[in-house]
Amino acid sequence: MKNIAVIGAGTMGNGIAHTFAQFGFKVQLIDISEKALDKGLATIGKNLDRMVNKGTITEEDKTRTLDNIHSSTDIKKGIEHAGLVVEAATENHELKLNIFRQLDEFCPEDTILATNTSSISITQIAAVTHRPERVIGMHFMNPVPIMKLVEVIRGYNTSDETTRTVMELSEKLQKVPVEVNDYPGFVANRILMPMINEAIETLYNGVAGVREIDTVMKLGMAHPMGPLQLADFIGLDVCLSILNVMHNGFKNPKYAPCPLLVNMVTAGKLGVKSGEGFYDYSENKKAEKISKMFS
């Protein structure tokens, strides 16, 4: 399995494409937008440059990685030879289902279809295909080239063979795959999102300010980043979406998103991506400087 297709050229998609290409896989990066593809490829180039400057890889490694990536706006053409497709589109339920219907129609019968969803049911996604045994979750962490964890999520019908193949592929990327079952939020977000939501509730209730809350968690709990700053990096809209999935899935009020989070997303304060969330990233390219912490 040397041919990989990645659907979506955003933050997660270009990171996934970068990682597979760096380890010798031939990658088709697919997006409906040429602008998104250009931006994604530029991001990969910048991240590779940082790795060269840090001595993590050589110039030859960089060139070889870029040569392994090709881009396309034609999903049918881009996936026709793929042994694995990793969908990394926006965290939208209907969008993902529509993508998987197309993947099922156009991909070879033995192609494994993976989704990078952080919360949506793998079983529901698999149900719109004729190959549910070959559909699986492959949840990478951001930034993908740096973070070691891959949550490998089995849907109700995911086969042992598919799971084993994806676990082995993850190890070839020098990642640490962890197999989990298909419940809302899986493991990472089922634990992380309630913590972030509780931090937002703490702010909402006036217990402490943004920096104070983050400082307590960094210095007191040895977290590398406070929960409110982390929410900004994830995207407050993404946090809200995941909490809604868990709230709807479990029908448990403990997963209900804080009203402050809802209001901030409604107002367009989404974190780093919008230039403002719990912190202001608009001045002096603060977002760019802080993002280098991950490189």
Report the catalytic residues: 118, 139, 151, 189
Per DSSP, the three-state class of 49 is helix
Per DSSP, the three-state class of 85 is strand
Q: Residues marked as binding for NAD(+)?
A: 8-13, 31, 91, 96, 118, 142, 273
* 103 exposure class (CB count in 10 Å sphere: 0-12, 13-18, 19+): buried
Q: Residues marked as binding?
A: 8-13, 31, 91, 96, 118, 142, 273
Contacts 24+ apart (CB under 8 A), 12-15: 12/88, 12/116, 12/140, 12/142, 12/144, 13/40, 13/88, 13/89, 13/116, 14/40, 14/41, 14/43, 14/44, 15/47, 15/140, 15/142, 15/143, 15/144, 15/145
Q: Are 191 and 171 in contact (CB under 8 A)?
A: no
Give the integer Cα–Cα distance in Å for 210 and 229.
Answer: 9
Q: What's the Rg (C-alpha) of the chain?
A: 19
